[in-house]
Structure formats: structure tokens, C-alpha cells
Chain A
């Protein structure tokens, strides 16, 4: 007989349920299957009404983030074999409103992402005749890690501060702001400062550090936030101690 594993999947069908319930499905166990394969098996063979998001199946698109046994994971990169004998609990990401089953509403994150201006800001563009903006490998190295973010929002789901203070800009958005702040071609740090060091910015963070632990791309948002705090404090001291010209 083929080995199977049980998946306990959160269901929320707003026309039927006032709050989510769990439904258990038995799926074949294959050691090369990830949670997303099992969900697709359920959708194809067992219950077509199950809703979830996915796209690339290879850890690039950031669509299939869910909680697997209470830890935020990319389901395309989480193997069934790591959770034997089961049952494996699959839930939507925490702290985002659930639209249906495993699908959450992303609007809040998208708005925050937009507010940190994650693009290169120039006070004055160089004329084309002067050529491209050059960058050394060392300059590139300062922000590459933060540029790996795929907006999967696992870090938000791992951040209790975001749960308790929904206005907090949050780990990924701040890491992406830092990605541009540290880019030698960018001149927009002052524009981002007001939001990032304001009441919903970096000082909300109490350094739980879970965002960094769950990040599938090793972006280290907790590191980005602490480094920004340190730089902010250093700037403040400089503005206090040094004459205007020397800053």
C-alpha cells in the first residue's frame, strides 16, 4: 500500500464559516514532494474548492508563503518528509486578513512597500552623455543581501510587533528601504528618513529577530533595521556634536 500523510488544512469559506476550521486530507507521501505539491494534489484529486496562491514553484515569486506547523514557510521549498509522521498543519500567514482558505489580503504590505519608495531616487539625473552610474563590487556588496527580498511576507507573519501594531512599516519594507539607502547611486535616504524613523518605523522594532530566521532568501531584515537604528543614532550624535560643515 502506498504511504500517505495527513494534511490538516485551514479552511475559511466566508459564505459558510464565520471563522476558519481545519479539514484533513490524506495525500500520497513522496519524498520529493513539497507542501505545495500536496496542496495541488488536494486541489486536483480530492477537493477542487481549496484556494491557495502559488506561481513559480521554485522560491522566486514569493506567492506560496503559508504557515506549516505554525512556522511561516515557502510551501514550494518545504518538504513533506521533514514533517513525518504528520499530520501537517497548513494555515494562512498570520496578521493578514484572510480572504479565503489559505489566501490572505496583501494590500497593507503593498501600501507600505510603496511608502518606503523602493526605487533609486536622484536629486539630479546625470545627462546621458556622461554615461551610466558606475558602482564598484564593494559598493554592490553593501546592499546585495537586502535586494534578494521576494516580497513573500513570511517576515511579517513571523513578526509579533506587526501583529500587535499593524501600522508598523515592517521587516521587508524596511529592508528594501535599506537596500536603496545603501545603494551608492541613490540619493533618497533623506526622503525615506521621515517614515523610517517616525513612529511606525524602525523604533517599533524590538528585535525579536524572527523575521531573519524565517526569511527564505537570507535577507536579514532584523539586521537591516538594527543597522539603520545604529546609523540613525550616529547621525543624531554627529548633528549634536559637530559643527554644520563637518557633518
Chain B
């Protein structure tokens, strides 16, 4: 901003504030939003790791063993732990936002927000349980 603004005659001498690059640090709620958006990068990482696993699986047992050994290194364990936390944050924040986007009406009245959130969590639990059963049965 210049110290001496130049004026147009008969025009309001507006003051416009430029938005700082650090706008998201000015308020805890904005920071939380940016964190929520950033979690999508970790979701992508998770998906990437999964694709990598499929590729190893397709290349045969040797490649897959090598893949598993690599996953066991401290670097990958740490990376996965961080990724897991962010994916968890992503899922929780996403489920909590669901009632804003999804409006369900039963006999003319709107279903309360907590029901919409609850159904999401229930579906999550059920799907996780199914996956767990399949995986654990495969082990046994």
C-alpha cells in the first residue's frame, strides 16, 4: 500500500485490504479447515501405497516379499502411522460435515443431523468389520 493514495475526483476513496498468504493462520477454525483439506494428500498417499502393493502382488511372490520387507522398515512404519492419523481425521471431519450436504426427509420432517452422522459411522463400522473378518479368516 502506498503511503499517499491517489484519488479519483468524486469517487469514494476505498480502502481494500489484500488477503494475506497466511490468512489460514489468523483463526483456529481456518487452520482446522486447511488441515482437513491437506488430509486429502495423505488419502492419496494411502491409495498410492495400495496401488504399489497390487503391482508387487502382480509381479509374483518374490516381489511381494520384497514389498512387505520394505513396508516393515521404520521409515515406512512412521509414514504409515502419520498417514493413518490424517486419513482418520479426514474420515471423521467428512462424516461430521455430511448433514450439511445430505438432507433426508422422512414423512415431511427433516432427519436430525446426528442421525445422518450416525448412519455414516455405522456404515463405516460395518464395512470395517466385514474387511476385518475377511482378512482374519484368510490368516487362520
Contacts and interface: CB of A to CB of B under 8 A. Distances in A.
Interface of A: 12, 14-15, 18-20, 70, 94-95, 97-99, 105, 137-138, 141, 160, 163-164, 206-210, 212-213, 220, 222-223, 226-227, 229-230
Given A18-B1, A97-B14, A209 B33 contact: yes
18 contacts: A14-B7, A18-B2, A97-B12, A98-B17, A105-B14, A137-B108, A138-B105, A138-B108, A160-B19, A160-B23, A160-B24, A163-B19, A206-B33, A207-B97, A208-B30, A213-B29, A220-B100, A226-B101
A70 B100 contact: no
Pairs A-B, 5 closest by C-beta atoms:
A14-B13, A226-B101, A97-B14, A138-B108, A163-B19
Contact of B101 (A18, A137, A227): A227
Nearest to B4: A18
A70 B101 contact: no
B103 A227 contact: yes
Contact of A210 (B1, B30, B102): B30
A242 to B, nearest CB: 22
B74 interface: no
Contacts of B108: 137-138, 141
A97 B37 contact: no
A209 B110 CA distance: 20
B12 A105 contact: yes
Nearest to B29: A210
Contacts of B14: 14, 97-99, 105
Nearest to A226: B101
Given A160-B24, A227-B101, A14 B15 contact: yes
B29 A206 contact: no
Contacts of A213: 29
Contacts of B59: none
B97 A98 contact: no
Contacts of A105: 12, 14
